[in-house]
Amino acid sequence: MEAFLVSLSTVAIAEMGDRTQLLALVLAAKFRKPVPIVAAILVATLANHALAGYVGIWLGKYLTPTILDIVVGVSMLGMAVWTLIPDKLDADSARTGGHGAFLATLIAFFLAEIGDKTQIATAALAAGYSNLFAVVGGSTLGMLIANVPVVFMGSKFAERLPMDRIHKLAAVLFAGLGLWFIARGLL
């Protein structure tokens, strides 16, 4: 349960202001069809984070528990710093071609999530907890918690969020997790 809750809260907070959240906003404004957009975000996130979680667990098998905790801890500290750098939506990420809302969102969201901080966090958490289903389930639900309101409420919702505070909270969360994993590895 801990792996699920940590993954959920980490990704939900880290996703605020992230480029994939901005992409969800752009797609919602373009297509004005929230249900297929949310469905595509779910499918894309499940696929992307399952792959990241699998890689994390695979890498975790080759490291001793001490080294694994320290590596996960250092990666979380790196995520804390990365979170303080606001994302921008690349023009290429917003292109949808002539595809429908579901397919355009599925492709764009999956590609935008590659190398994203939430994908890397999912891999690190999976390596640290060795529980693929709990981590991927938590990170996917965290992604939906952050993106579904944006899809349904659009820019009015996004404009009211205190993004600076949310980024700082996410950085504190990542730093706390990083220090906790490092302490666990050293003790």
In tens, the pLDDT along 40-78 reads 999 999 999 999 999 999 988 888 878 877 887 887 788
CB count, 10 Å around CB of 130?
16
Q: Using CA atoms, how far apart are residues 173 and 8, in angstroms rounded to an integer?
A: 12
Query: Is residue 92's pLDDT more than 60?
Result: no
Per-residue pLDDT, 177 = 80
Q: Domain residues for 169? A: 2-186
Q: What percent of the chain has pLDDT over 90?
A: 36
Per-residue pLDDT, 94 = 47
Per-residue pLDDT, 46 = 97
Average pLDDT over residues 94-102: 64
Mean pLDDT (the chain) is 83
Q: What percent of the chain has pLDDT over 70?
A: 86
Per-residue pLDDT, 93 = 45
Q: Using CA atoms, how far apart are residues 41 and 93, in angstroms rounded to an integer?
A: 14
Per-residue pLDDT, 175 = 86
Per-residue pLDDT, 87 = 54
Q: Using CA atoms, how far apart are residues 132 and 176, in angstroms rounded to an integer?
A: 22
Render pLDDT for 106-147 as a digit per residue (tens, 0 to 9).
Answer: 998 898 888 888 898 899 899 989 899 999 999 999 999 999
Per-residue pLDDT, 163 = 62
Q: Which amino acid is at 151?
A: V
Per-residue pLDDT, 91 = 45
Select from 138, 161, 122, 113 the least CA-distant residue to 17.
161
Q: Based on the structure, what is the number of domains in the chain?
A: 1
Cα dihedral sign, 106-94-159-169: positive
Query: Is residue 17's pLDDT more than 90?
Result: no
Per-residue pLDDT, 155 = 53
